[in-house]
Structure 1
Amino acid sequence: MHLSPSPSWPQIVLAVLLASDVLMSVRPLPFIQACLDGVKLPRDWWWVLLVVKTLAIVGLLVGIKHDGIGFSANVGVIVYFVCASIAHIRARFTKQEFWVNCLGFLAVAVAAFVISFAV
Structure 2
Amino acid sequence: MNTITSEPQWPTLLMAAILLGDIAMSIKPLRFIRQCLSGVNFPENWWWALILIKSVAVLGLLIGLHIPGFGIAAMCGIIAYFCAATIAHIRAGYLKQSFWINCLGMLSLSIAVLLLTILT
- The equivalent residue for 2:59 is 58
Specify every segment of 5 or more residues in structure 2 that has no aligned partner in the other structure, as ranges.
Answer: none
Return the alpha-carbon distance in structure 2 between the equivalents of residues 62 and 10 of structure 1. 14
- Residue 6 (structure 1) aligns with: 7
2:56 is paired with a residue of what secondary structure? helix
Structure 1 portions without partners, runs of 5+ = none
SS, match of residue 112 in structure 2: helix
Structure 2 CA distance for partners of 1:111 and 1:2, relative to 1, 3 Å: farther
Identity of aligned pairs, percent?
43
In structure 2, what is the Cα distance between the partners aligned to 1:74 and 1:116?
10
TM-score normalised over the length of structure 2: 0.96
1:41-85 CA-partner distances (Å, limit 9, x unpaired): 000100000000000001001101101110100000000000100
* Partner Cα separation in structure 2 for residue 48 and residue 104 of structure 1: 21
CA contact under 8 A between 1:22 and 1:50: conserved in structure 2?
yes
Counterpart contact for 1:81–1:106, Cα < 8 Å: yes
After TM superposition, give the deviation of residue 2 of structure 1 in Å.
5.1
Which letter maps to 2:17? Answer: V
> Residue in 1 aligned with 2:34?
33
Count the aligned residue pairs.
Answer: 119
Segments of 4+ moved more than 4 angstroms = none
RMSD: 1.1
Q: Deviations over 1:71-114 (max 9, x none)?
A: 10000000000010000000000100001110111011000000
Alignment partner of 1:84: what SS? helix
Match for 1:31: what amino acid?
Answer: F
